[in-house]
Every structure is written in C-alpha cells, then in structure tokens.
Structure 1
Amino acid sequence: MFLTLCALFVLSACLHCCDAQLRLASYYGDHMVLQKSPARAVLWGYGPEGAHVTVSLSGPTQQRTSPVTVTEGIWRVTLDPVEPGGPYMVNVSSETSTVNMTDVLFGDVWLCGGQSNMRFHMSTIFNASSELALTPKYPHVRPFQAATKVSETELLDLIQVQTRWAVPTAGGLSQFSAVCWLFGRYLYDVLKYPIGLVESCWSGTVVEAWSSSRALQECDLERVNSNAVNPHGPRKNSILWNAMIHPLLNMTIYGAIWYQGESNTGYHPNQYNCSFPAMIDDWRMAFHQGSGGQTDPDFPFGFVQLSTCAKHTSSESYSNLRWHQTEDTGFAPNSKMRKTFMAVALDLPDETSPRGPIHPRDKQDVAYRLMLGARAVAYNQTDVLFLGPFPKEIQPLQNSIEIVYDQEVSVTQSEDIYEICCSTTRAACSLHSSWVPAPILSWALASVRISTASCQGSAVAGLRYAWQNWPCDFKACPVYSINKVLPAPPFIFYYPQGNN
C-alpha cells in the first residue's frame, strides 16, 4: 500500500529531528519555477519541532498562509493558485528565523527523466554554439538538475543537487539535458509564460531502476533483479526511484517527458510493454498523492521512441522495443496509455556521433516533436498534428496490399522499408528469414500500395514497416506526414490467417 505523506514524514523524521534550523527542502530556491494555477504549488522543509511557520508571497499578487506547526521536524504549506508570471519573493518565517526565495516565477513545471539520450548535453548536439547563444532570449525557462544518486530505500528529499535553479546562461546550460532544455524552450515560444525544467536522469539505466516496487509487482518483476555491475549506470530495482524520483513527489508538476529504453533492449525487453506503462501509471498516482492532490492524477507524459544504434545488423531488438514502448499498439496516446504523446526518432540516425551512433546529436527535432505532442495532448490544442501517418486500414489486393493511412502522406520510393511474412501461420513470422521486402508500387493522397510478389504466390501472414534497428538514413524514411515533418511510426500487423 502506498504510504501517506504524513507517514513518510514520520519515517524520515529521524534524519532531521536534531535539525533546529528553518530551511526549505533541497529543490526549492532562488530563481525557481513553481506550478501555476489552477493547481496549487506545495512548499515544504525542515524546522525546529513545534515552531509555527508562515509563508508569504509578494510580487504581482500577495498572499500569506496560516501558520503551520513543525511536526517531526517537517513543515508543509500549499499556496493558493497563482497566475503565470513573476517575479515573486517567497518569505518563510517562524518565531525565530526567516528564509527567503527571490526571483521566483509561476508557470508549468516539467520533469525530464530517462537515460543517456535524455542526459545528452547541450554542448554535444548539432550546432551547439548557436543553440547556446540563444539562451539569453529565454530568461523565463529555468533549469534544475538532480545529482545522480542511488538509495535502497525511498527518500523524502534529494541526497544532492547537481545544478540549482538559475536564470539560464550559455555556460550554465552546456551540461544540461538538450532534449529537456529544447523542449522547454520550444514550449515557451508557444505558451509565452515561465517553464520550469527538472532534470532527473542517469545514463545506461533500465526502467526497473526508475520504478517503485508497486509498479514492478504489476509486471512480476519485483523479484527479478539485477545486481550485475553496469559500467554506465545502476540497474537494481527501484534504486533510482528511491533516490531521484520519490524525493520530488511533494512538488506540484504539470507533466513529464522521458527518453529511455536502450538499456532494456537486452534486459527484460519482452516485459517493457508492461513495465513502462506501469511506471507511468505509478508515477502519476504517486505525484498526485505526494502533492496532496495538486499534480493531476493523469498528468501528461511524453516519451521518445528509440532512435537507432547499429546500422549493419539483423537484430530486431530496437524494433521490438519501439513497439513495446507503445504497449504494442504502435502509437500514443492509446486506450492503455492515456494522455501520453510520442516523438518518433528512428529517422534521425547519426553514424558519426562522437558518443557513438546510439547517441544521435539531432536533439532539436526530437524536442520539437515532443513539443508538438505536448501542445496536442497536454494543452489540448486540437489543430496540432503531432504524430506521423499510421494505418487505419490494410486491404489485401491481387498481388499487392494497400495501406490506408489516417492522414495525408508524403511518400518516396522504397524497395525494402515494408516487409511481408510469407506463411500461412503467424508462428512462422517469429523467424527473421520469413520476412521479405515488399517494394512500394504506388501511392495516393493517403495510401500506399506495396507488392506481395516476393512471396511468390504463397500466403501472406504479416506486414510490417520500418522494422529494422536502422530503417533509413537521416530524415529519409519513405513515409511522412504531408508537411514532411513527422515520420510514420513503425508498425507490425498480422492477418488472422494467411492471405494470398
């Protein structure tokens, strides 16, 4: 059962019962962004037992909370809703001491999680110098970075802060997550109000490490654990949830974005269609409860579908993981992953990346596609196209198949991006050799027709698109949205029985 916030305070009180100093929790400070209305921002910290703490807000609007009593070394207040903007001064006072936060803004707070492609620094992306030079134009997009730490138990507060809240500078952003910063920057261009970015990620980590024991139980993974030494990052169950996510639960947030999965291509890959959605659901429940109901119980969650890794390989590990990221539907949101959005990245390979092809440098397109998803799903902008073409109907024809898409398409010729499985049974399609290329024959406004001649008259049991680790060159996949911005996601389809 999920522990109540009060219970967590009691469990952690031993860490702070001797701390007589009035102070805020680790992730509050000057220049921060607090969640705007209609939600209410939560503030909490430590103080001498029995002291009475009052929080005052001064700036474009004023407010003062009723005194709260420090209990088990902890105080906590929930502000009234505040419209976006600032700056504000936040004054936290007790009978004997005062703590201030200056230049505080109210806007939307987004959590950025995952592994190395989320941690990939601004200094390493394409056109890094020119991108960083734009930083002074975005003083209201504020970054914060949690330090990489582990814990065997759930912690109330961060062990360490890597980068405190700040007005961004080119130098200060150079080691910050590129996807996180660019996503926030692009959002600000649309929303025109403050954006807070909380980076909490670690290279080489698996989804199990970021998941609570509750979430792992949903997928029968709680008892399946890894104590193996990983040169890139920890893999042990819940060890990062405990140290780098659980401490943030009391913060009111608007949403989260996620870039992870590479490490799970070889670690419980077939469970990712359960473990990833279970983690999302569990984070939502935990943040909602931890913030006293202020974080939405269905807060928007965006993720990046895996890009590429090894170009010359027959392995389907990345293809399968991409599919499992969508809970085996091929798109998001879907009926099992509500209020999610996905950025497709398989058309952004980078064979000469200095950090290896597993780390493509084009994070601008990744962040932009995430931003489109956020506009549509998180901000309900119904006129925003955010996902590339996906089949709505597959029609077997004489010696061909017609794929009817859910939107108009831009198509270029390909001999091998589509594949068909030549068999009368789906079981045979588990063999890589059963799949053969199906060249594009023609296309129309919203459809593509492919040849089934490769099956030489035998039945077709399945059809798939872009089902390779490295399906196409840079921005050169055959099927895009009509504006050529959004690549078609990969898909796999099986006929109930083989079709001729």
Structure 2
Amino acid sequence: MAAGLRLFSILILCVHITDTHAKLRFASSYGDHMVLQKSPAKAMLWGYAPEGTQINISLSGPPQQEATAVADGEGMWRVSLEPVEAGGPYSVTAASHNETVTLTDVLFGDVWLCGGQSNMAFPTSRIFNASEELKLAADFPHVRLFMVALTHSETQQTDLMAVALPWSVPTAENLSRFSAVCWLFGRYLHKSLKYPIGLVESCYGGTPVEAWSSSRVLQQCGLEHSTGTWPPASTSSLWNAMIHPLLRTVIKGAIWYQGESNAFHNKDKYNCSFPAMIDDWRMAFHQASGGQTEDDFPFGFVQLCTFTKYSKDLSYPEIRWHQTADFGFAPNQRMRKTFMAVALDLPDESSPYETIHPRDKQDVAHRLMLGARSVAYNEVDVTFRGPFPQAITPSAAEVVVSYDQALSVTLSRNTFEICCSKMPQSCETSSSWVEVPIKQWNATKVVLHPVVCPPSEEVTGLRYAWRDWPCDFKACPVYSASSTLPAPPFISQRYEADGITWQEDVN
C-alpha cells in the first residue's frame, strides 16, 4: 500500500528556491496572481533584504496603501496591511533605495490551506469526469492555485524549500496536477461566496499525522520522535518543511484528507494526535501572523473512505472513529469549529489507482463545502452533518435507535450490529457482535429486527457501519432526509459514557 500512497510524489516538477538574502525579495509563498486574505483580517507581507534595509511597501488601489518595514538581523522584513475588502486586481510593490519588486494581479479574498496525504494530493486529471472539469478552469479565474513542493526537513524552515506551482490562474494544464478536492472545494465556495478564493496545496502521499505535527503535539500525545526509514514520514519532517514556512500566511481556514497511513501506525493515539495537531496549527498560525489568522480558524476534514472490500480488519472503522476524537461527529467538545465530510459511502472498486484512491472527489468536496458554509461562514440554513443517534432503547424484542434529524432509510446490506454480553461486561472483550437487519423506521427512528440474547446476557453494545467497506456506492442504509448526507459510523456501549443515551424500554 505504501508504494501506491507515494504514487504522487514522482509527479510534481519542483521549482527550487535559491535562499539568498542579499537582494530584496518576497518570501517564496508570494507571487503574481496570488490571493491575500481579505478584511476583516490584515494581510501580512514578508520577505528578505540585507540587514537594516528600509523597505517601502505600496498597494495600488483603489484603495491605496503605504507601509514601511526594516530588515532585521536575520535579513527578514514583514508588514501587515490595513484590511482590504474582497476584490482586485492590485499590485503590491516592495522598494528599497536601489531595488524594486512588484507583485501583479493580486486579489483579496479567502485563503484556504489544503493538507494531508495522497487522497488530498489526488490530481484533478484522475477524477471522474476529469476532462469536463478541466474545461471549466477558464470559467473560474478568481480561484487561484498555489502548490508547495514535496520536501522534508529535520529542522523547522523559515521559507519554503521549493514550490511545485507558483500562484497561478487556473488552466487545464496546471489544474490537471492540482489537488482535486482542494480545487473543487474552492470552486464550489467561490460559486457560493462570489469573491476570490486562494487555494494552497501542501500534501504528501503515504505520510502519517506525526510527520505534519510539531514536537509539541508529539510530546502531548506521548509519541516518540523517530526518523524512520522513509524521511518524509519521519515525525515533524513535513511540519518543518511544508507547514512551518506558511505560518505567516493569513488564512481563512484549512481542509484535511489524511489518516490512511495511521490506520496501521499509532492508530490508537490518533484520537489525541489529530485534534492536538489542529489545536497546534491554530496556535502557530495565529501567533506567526500577528494574530490575523484566527486562533480557532475553521478546520474541515474527510472521514476516510474505504480500502479493502469484505475485510474483517477493524483498522479503518477504528481510525474513522478516532478522526472524531471518539465522538463520532464534528464539531464536538474536543474539536470545536471543525466540520467533517463522511466518505465511507463513496467506494471505487474499479479505481485504476487502487481502491484506496476513489475517483469521486466531487461529492467529497461538496460535503466539505457544506461544512465550511455552516461552520466558517455561519450560514444557519445549511445542513452539513448526516444523522447521528441521540438515544438507543434496547429490549428483548427490538432495538430502537433515535436520531437527531429526519431520515431517509433503505433496506440495504446489514450495517447495524449488536453486542450481547453479561452486564456490565465490555463488548471490546466479547466476540458476540452480530448483524441485525432493519425491521422498520419512521421520520427519526430506526427499529432493528427482534433481538434474542442468551438468557444470561443483554444488549450492551450497538455499532453502525463498523467495517472497512460497509456499503456500496451511495448505498448505505441511513441518510439525512433533507440533504442526502450519509450517517457517520458509530459505536456505543451501554455502560460507557460515550455521548449516546441508553434508555430503558418504556413499553
């Protein structure tokens, strides 16, 4: 699987950056055609010049702005602009007594960072209906693209080591190798918001969350620092090279598609490492941007799709659960201001890029976009979460599952399972998980088929879609009635406090 996950590392031609501070320049994450974060935030500009050099910054308008910075002892200068409303184009000029550097065709809008491993890196040229999607590139000139090159480092880098795609207006050519999920998410957002969107792709196939995390996260979650046999997967190596250099970039939010590598590596600590990484990124971006990136910026993620059909291994359902900090949904008490796109109902058995790389990225991006509209943009009338149980009522005859929203239910493959055990014995030590079919349902409840536990046991556990590949394409049993969003997987045990209420049968 590792070879398949590293498939995309050989596809990107990197533009290497000469790290010379002897001349005036912007940092490598800036360029013509870029998007800077709009008001109410103050966009930050920074770069290099000889120590002590005074830099005069100007923004052509209207409105026009001017500011001054001085290169410090490390040859770096930085300045924050006054807030600028969405729009453009602008020119941004940095000038010293003998040098001038100008960025042209600069827009102001919302900047989103797209991170993760190969399913986030999966290029637009490989998705379903790719040719039609690539033809649309010219219709969205205000959705701008930037791609960080595949690099790694044992130490934190101030500037990017290399750039794979400098800031660009989308074309069929450059979009063909750009992240499909990132592009589609940005395109859908732009159609909703009607102003510029900047997309920064920073992802690397086959990598675990530890590689994207600072030493602070590793320490918090009790993860050992290791170099590993493949450097990009080493702890903090991608944080150092592909995230840390972006911290001064003022961003609106981030989306994330990763976890496959952690299904078989430090899986049981992902419920700590992933939420801790989100918290740490938020803190680091906020501090490095002078407080202009929000310290709780919205963070969306994709709950993993599928890998192996008919597999009895529980690594995928367990990592999906840990992606939510074991709550089963997002946002939650541990992962505030997050949103999740459930993808377990989008398998691609015939994918030529291995089943771990499904080609339907349109639905993934659309579900992320719904979450962003609700969580990041506070649209109150947008449903972005599928149904989740509020209460479970077991009896000797049936099990009633009460959901938090109206349902659309179909009788498909059995995806509910119960556990019979002696109370209060944990189902984790029981092999008594058995499938139970749906008996009937109404607007908000699913009634499972009559259940008969041994005389000395009772129903003590219920789980849903707790398999690597729980259903065929868009054919899981439970969806939301209003938005056809799939119900996420869950596991609940009667004598454990997991957020779902177990109540006695009132009949």
TM-score, length of structure 2 as denominator length: 0.92
Query: Match of 2:158, SS?
Result: coil
| Structure 2 unaligned spans of 5+ | 1-17, 497-501
| 1:204-232 superposed Cα distances (whole Å, 9 cap, x missing partner) | 000000000001111011x2535134xxx
Contact map agreement 1:210 1:238 (CA 8 A) in 2:
yes
Match of 1:268 in 2: 266
Match of 1:307 in 2: 305
Residue 105 (structure 2) aligned to one of 96, 103, 106: 103
| 1:126-167 superposed Cα distances (whole Å, 9 cap, x missing partner) | 000001111111000001000010100000000000000011
CA distance, structure 1, for counterparts of residue 145 and residue 491 of structure 2: 39
Q: How does 1:19-38 map to 2 (within 5 A)?
A: 19-38=21-40
Match of 1:10 in 2: none
Match of 1:3 in 2: none
Is 1:128 the counterpart of 2:130? The answer is: yes
CA distance, structure 2, for counterparts of residue 75 and residue 66 of structure 1: 9
Match of 1:465 in 2: 464
Match of 1:391 in 2: 389
Query: Match of 2:238, SS?
Result: helix
Match of 2:334 in 1: 336
Match of 1:160 in 2: 162
User: Per the alignment, do residues 129 and 443 of structure 1 end up closer, same or farther by CA in structure 2, a change over 3 Å counting?
Assistant: same
Match of 1:6 in 2: none
Match of 1:191 in 2: 193
Match of 1:480 in 2: 479
Match of 2:181 in 1: 179
Code of the aligned partner of 1:20: A
Code of the aligned partner of 2:181: V
Code of the aligned partner of 1:271: K
Match of 1:215 in 2: 217
Match of 1:49 in 2: 51
Query: Match of 2:282, SS?
Result: helix
Match of 2:367 in 1: 369
Match of 1:7 in 2: none
Contact map agreement 2:94 2:101 (CA 8 A) in 1:
yes
Percent identical pairs in the alignment equals: 62
| 1:56-82 superposed Cα distances (whole Å, 9 cap, x missing partner) | 001231111134344421111110000
Code of the aligned partner of 1:35: Q
Residue 440 (structure 2) aligned to one of 442, 446, 449: 442
Give the CA deviation at 1:454: 5.3
CA distance, structure 1, for counterparts of residue 241 and residue 166 of structure 2: 17
Contact map agreement 1:68 1:77 (CA 8 A) in 2:
no
Query: Match of 2:411, SS?
Result: coil
Aligned residues: 481
Farther off after superposition, 297-306 or 458-467: 458-467
Query: Match of 2:31, SS?
Result: coil
| 1:93-150 superposed Cα distances (whole Å, 9 cap, x missing partner) | 0111100000000000000000000000000000000011111110000010000101
Contact map agreement 1:304 1:342 (CA 8 A) in 2:
yes
Code of the aligned partner of 2:476: C
CA distance, structure 2, for counterparts of residue 206 and residue 440 of structure 1: 37
User: Per the alignment, do residues 124 and 48 of structure 1 end up closer, same or farther by CA in structure 2, a change over 3 Å counting?
Assistant: same
Query: Match of 1:182, SS?
Result: helix
Code of the aligned partner of 2:235: N
Query: Match of 2:495, SS?
Result: strand
CA distance, structure 2, for counterparts of residue 328 and residue 298 of structure 1: 20
CA distance, structure 1, for counterparts of residue 483 and residue 193 of structure 2: 24
Contact map agreement 1:428 1:434 (CA 8 A) in 2:
no
Contact map agreement 2:426 2:493 (CA 8 A) in 1:
no
Residue 258 (structure 1) aligned to one of 250, 256, 259: 256
Give the CA deviation at 1:234: 2.5
TM-score, length of structure 1 as denominator length: 0.93
Give the CA deviation at 1:451: 2.2
Give the CA deviation at 1:396: 1.9
Contact map agreement 1:146 1:244 (CA 8 A) in 2:
yes
